[in-house]
Amino acid sequence: MRHDACLKVLAIAMSLMPINSCTNLMPPPQPSVSQAPFGATPDGKTVSVYTLRNRNGMEARIITYGGVILSLKVPDRNGKPGDVVLGYDSLPAYLASSPYFGALIGRYGNRIARGRFTLDGRTYTLATNNGPNHLHGGLQGFDKVVWEAEPFTTPDSVGIIFRYTSTDGEEGYPGTLRAQVVYNLTNDNALMFDYTASTDKPTPVNLTQHSYFNLAGDGARDILGHVVRVNADRFTPVDSTLIPTGELRSVVGTPFDFRTAHAIGERIGRDDEQLRFGLGYDHNFVLNRTGVGRDLVLAAEVHEPTTGRVMEIFTTEPGLQFYSGNFLDGTLRGKGGVVYRQRYGFAMETQHFPDSPNQAAFPSTILRPGREYRSRTIYRFSVRP
Ligand code: GLA
């Protein structure tokens, strides 16, 4: 049928139908992005919120402060959207206290032992902001800075390019680091992160994203019934301060064997030294790879049986920190007044291994001038009957 004839049929059909049936005949919406103010930081930097929508019912709201994903609406098996990330409603709540809800993490995701490392013969001292150790880039990491943002749309996706330049010596790290993170919401319900960075002096870099997920929606109950698979034969056991011992330990016969699907809650209460140290799962898994390259691999899959939502995680990184929200303790009140209790959210942080600057046998996290840091992670959402 020719286009104008088609439109005529559509117009006649629509005139015969109750108003709310018309939407069924409408073409699917184009990917869109809109921007609105979201307040300002105490030092007067304005913060914006961007709302990204794809063609298939997904919506992400992201702010320029910390690149924080405020909300992520994903359809369940009945097509009903639900917000699958934890967070707050307003900027002051993020400024007051946030356990990295939804944020970009840098320069170094996870811990550096005792806040010290030696590089090319020189020792650098970083803030110890997590017991005796340095965590997630320090006192004012990439989660607490305002990023420059440039939105874009393509026929297949909608996204934001975030840029931040970290000055030489910031948080104790050497070199001026120019970081860029592209968030891309695709029409096939994937949220993709492309990280790049360059430096003018050798420096450790390990960027990641710290969203807390609860695929049941609205963070209203614990995540223990979520069923997880992790594509890892080994993990990096830790000491009591959560610094890797250096061993790559087989998961066989341990509660860390997620090579086949297990509910998070199934073995989390076992009498196991590693679970005691982490208060649950808070461990880096060594992702299985074939060959020597850094191709995208399926790192993990999480399935929430009551809603049917599934999240697959693909990454070019060698590791995955699976954190079962053990430090949430019911003192934080999140979106819509929901109290986030222990294990009401989990994180799947793709990364290089914790404390790599002090562990010569781990894959290197040192970026040198003239080289480009590159990393890609994809969270893809779908449903199961
Ligand atoms: C990471 C760490 C955890 C915890 C969270 C933030 O997942 O491994 O121990 O610090 O960040 O609360």
How many angstroms from the chain centroid is the CA of residue 88?
Answer: 16
Domain ranges of the chain: 32-383
Residue with token string 């059909």: 13
Question: Would you say residue 19 has pLDDT above 90?
Answer: no
Which residue among 135, 275, 329 has the greatest number of ligand 1 atoms within 8 angstroms of its CB, and so is best to mutate? 135
Determine whether the shortest distance from the Cβ of 242 to ligand 1 is under 6 A.
Answer: yes
Rounded to the nearest angstrom, the distance between the alpha carbon of 165 and the centre of ligand 1 is 24
Among the listed ranges 24-33, 144-153, 208-217, 258-267, which one has the minimum average pLDDT value?
24-33
Gap between the Cα atoms of 334 and 42, Å rounded? 21
Determine whether the shortest distance from the Cβ of 212 to ligand 1 is under 6 A.
Answer: no
Which residue among 68, 98, 100 has the greatest number of ligand 1 atoms within 8 angstroms of its CB, and so is best to mutate? 100
Question: Would you say residue 103 has pLDDT above 90?
Answer: yes
Which residue among 235, 283, 327 has the greatest number of ligand 1 atoms within 8 angstroms of its CB, and so is best to mutate? 327
The phi, psi pair for 49, rounded to 5°, reads -115, 135
More confident residue, 203 or 3: 203
pLDDT, the chain, mean: 93
Structural contact between residues 91 and 98, judged by C-beta atoms closer than 8 angstroms: no
Which atom of ligand 1 is nearest the CA belonging to 242? 9
Rounded to the nearest angstrom, the distance between the alpha carbon of 155 and the centre of ligand 1 is 37
pLDDT in tens, 279-326: 999 999 999 998 666 899 999 999 999 999 999 999 999 999 999 999
9 — pLDDT class (breaks 50, 70, 90): very low
Rounded to the nearest angstrom, the distance between the alpha carbon of 105 and the centre of ligand 1 is 11
CB-based burial of residue 362 (10 Å sphere; 0-12 exposed, 13-18 middle, 19+ buried)? buried
Q: What are the residues facing 90 on neighbouring strands? A: none
Structural contact between residues 126 and 211, judged by C-beta atoms closer than 8 angstroms: no
pLDDT recorded at residue 292 = 67
- What number is the average pLDDT over the span 260-268? 98
Question: Can you give the chain as a three-state secondary structure string?
Answer: CCHHHHHHHHHHHHHCCCHHHHHHHCCCCCCEEEEEEEEECCCCCEEEEEEEECCCCCEEEEECECCCEEEEEEECCCCCEEECECCCCCHHHHHHCCCCCCEEECCECCEEHHHEEEECCEEEECCCCECCEEECCCCCCHHHCECEEEEEECCCEEEEEEEEEECCCHHHCCCCEEEEEEEEEECCCEEEEEEEEEECCCEECECEEECCECCCCCCCCCCCCCEEEECEEEEECECCCCCECCCCEECCCCCCCCCCCEEHHHHCCCCCHHHHHHCCCEEEEEECCCCCCCCCEEEEEEECCCCCEEEEEEECCCEEEEECCCCCCCCEECHHHCEECCCCCEEEEEECCCCHHHCCCCCCCEECCCCCEEEEEEEEEEECC
> CATH top-level class for 32-383?
mainly beta
Among the listed ranges 14-28, 270-284, 358-372, which one has the minimum average pLDDT value?
14-28
Protein residue closest via CA to atom 7 of ligand 1: 323
Protein residue closest via CA to atom 9 of ligand 1: 282
- What number is the average pLDDT over the span 232-246? 98
Percent of the chain at pLDDT exceeding 90: 90
Determine whether the shortest distance from the Cβ of 99 to ligand 1 is under 6 A.
Answer: yes
Structural contact between residues 30 and 38, judged by C-beta atoms closer than 8 angstroms: no
Give the C-alpha distances (Å, rounded to integers) separating 54 from 61, 86, 190, 191: 12, 21, 10, 10
Determine whether the shortest distance from the Cβ of 101 to ligand 1 is under 6 A.
Answer: no
The pTM of the full predicted model, rounded to 2 decimals, is 0.92
Rounded to the nearest angstrom, the distance between the alpha carbon of 385 and the centre of ligand 1 is 33
Protein residue closest via CA to atom 11 of ligand 1: 110
Cβ neighbours of 257 (radius 10 Å): 16
How many angstroms from the chain centroid is the CA of residue 264?
Answer: 18
Under 8 Å CB-to-CB from 70, ≥6 apart: which residues? 49, 61, 62, 63, 85, 87, 88, 102
Rounded to the nearest angstrom, the distance between the alpha carbon of 15 and the centre of ligand 1 is 56
Gap between the Cα atoms of 145 and 344, Å rounded? 26
